[in-house]
Amino acid sequence: MFLFELLKNEIKISSLNRGDSLFVAIFFLVTISLFPLGVGPDTITLSRIAPGIIWIMALLTSIVSLDRLLSDDLDDGTTEMLVSSNIDYTIIALTKIITHWLTTGLPVILMAPLLGLALQMQGSSIGTLIISLFCGTPTLSLIGTFGSALTLNAKHRGILIPLLVLPLNIPILIFGSSCVTLDNINFDPNGSFLVMIGILLIAITLCPLAISILLKMSIEK
């Protein structure tokens, strides 16, 4: 399966060179640990805003590496090489999406329990937070990669990508943090989970297709 081999190579490249996941992890850790210093160590306030903080930071970390996600391969000819070797654009798109999730979504999920504790969250809320991150971060990667593909030939991509991607991710932020907030006041968060899974399913059907079309367009331009 080419997808698997491509993925292995992608992971090797990003772990060896750019240190993407390490950077994401450090960015996430450092910024979140600034909040208790800025807001003050008040337990009640912190635990109330904690889900929101963690979700906002998850959103921001997801756009950090987007500007180079697709353009690196396009610039050095790797995409052309893969296409001429009869590999489908959809496979290339899926590889990039999964790589993005593995290097940004997964580290965020892994560090969330620790940071939840640091922000005085309850044990059960942390569980809900993790589930919500599991439902939401793949969507962030799908939409993020889509934004990255959409701006491939644009100037000032560094500014365009957040302008494009952040608004599209707002529903995920709202439902993601509301899961935890609802759980805190003993309401059933299942509705929010279902909405997030629904958005994820829509994104899974549309984004890889759109990204592959955009990639094809920028190769053939």
Partner 1 sequence: MSIQQPSVSKLIVSNLSTSRGGKMIFDKLSFSLAPGEILLVKGENGSGKSTLLSNLANILPPTSGKICLETRKTQKVRYIGHKLAIKTTLTVRQNLSFWCKLYNANNKFFEKSVKDFSLSHFLDFQINKLSAGLIKRVSLARLLIGESLLWILDEPYINMDKKNIELLNKVIEINLNKGIMVVIASHQPIQIDSHKSLDLAFSPPYLSNSQED
In the chain, the amino acid numbered 38 is G
Residue 60 Cα distances to 88, 92, 160, 165, angstroms: 30, 24, 14, 10
Return the range that interacts with partner 1 (CB under 8 A); candidates 31-39, 53-61, 69-77, 105-113: 69-77
Minimum distance from CB of 65 to partner 1 (Å)? 15
Minimum distance from CB of 47 to partner 1 (Å)? 43
Backbone angles phi, psi at 138, to 5 degrees: -60, -35
> Toward partner 1, which CB reaches closer, 42 or 75?
75
146: left (phi over 0), alpha (psi -120 to 50) or beta: alpha
Residue 2 touching partner 1 (CB under 8 A): yes
Residue 90 touching partner 1 (CB under 8 A): no
Residue 205 touching partner 1 (CB under 8 A): no
DSSP 8-state code for residue 155:
S
> Toward partner 1, which CB reaches closer, 17 or 186?
17
Minimum distance from CB of 115 to partner 1 (Å)? 31
Return the range that interacts with partner 1 (CB under 8 A); candidates 24-32, 85-93, 155-163, 190-198: 85-93
> Toward partner 1, which CB reaches closer, 7 or 46?
7
Residue 84 touching partner 1 (CB under 8 A): yes
Q: Are 117 and 126 in contact (CB under 8 A)?
A: yes
DSSP 8-state code for residue 1:
-
Residue 76 touching partner 1 (CB under 8 A): yes
Calculate the CA 180 to chain-centre distance: 19
Residue 81 touching partner 1 (CB under 8 A): yes
Calculate the CA 133 to chain-centre distance: 10
Among 33, 75, 117, 190, binds partner 1 (CB under 8 A): 75
Taken as a whole, the chain contains a residue count of: 221
Among 3, 11, 13, 197, binds partner 1 (CB under 8 A): 13
Tokens of 57: 């930071």
Residue 19 touching partner 1 (CB under 8 A): no
| Residue found by looking up tokens 């390490």 in the block | 22
As a dihedral over the C-alpha atoms of residue 86, residue 89, residue 93, residue 98, rounded to 10 degrees, the angle is: -30
Count of residues in contact with partner 1, rule CB under 8 A = 23
Measured CA to CA, the distance from residue 122 to residue 135 in angstroms comes to 20
- What is the binding site for partner 1 (CB under 8 A)? 2, 5-6, 8-9, 12-13, 16-17, 75-78, 80-87, 219-220
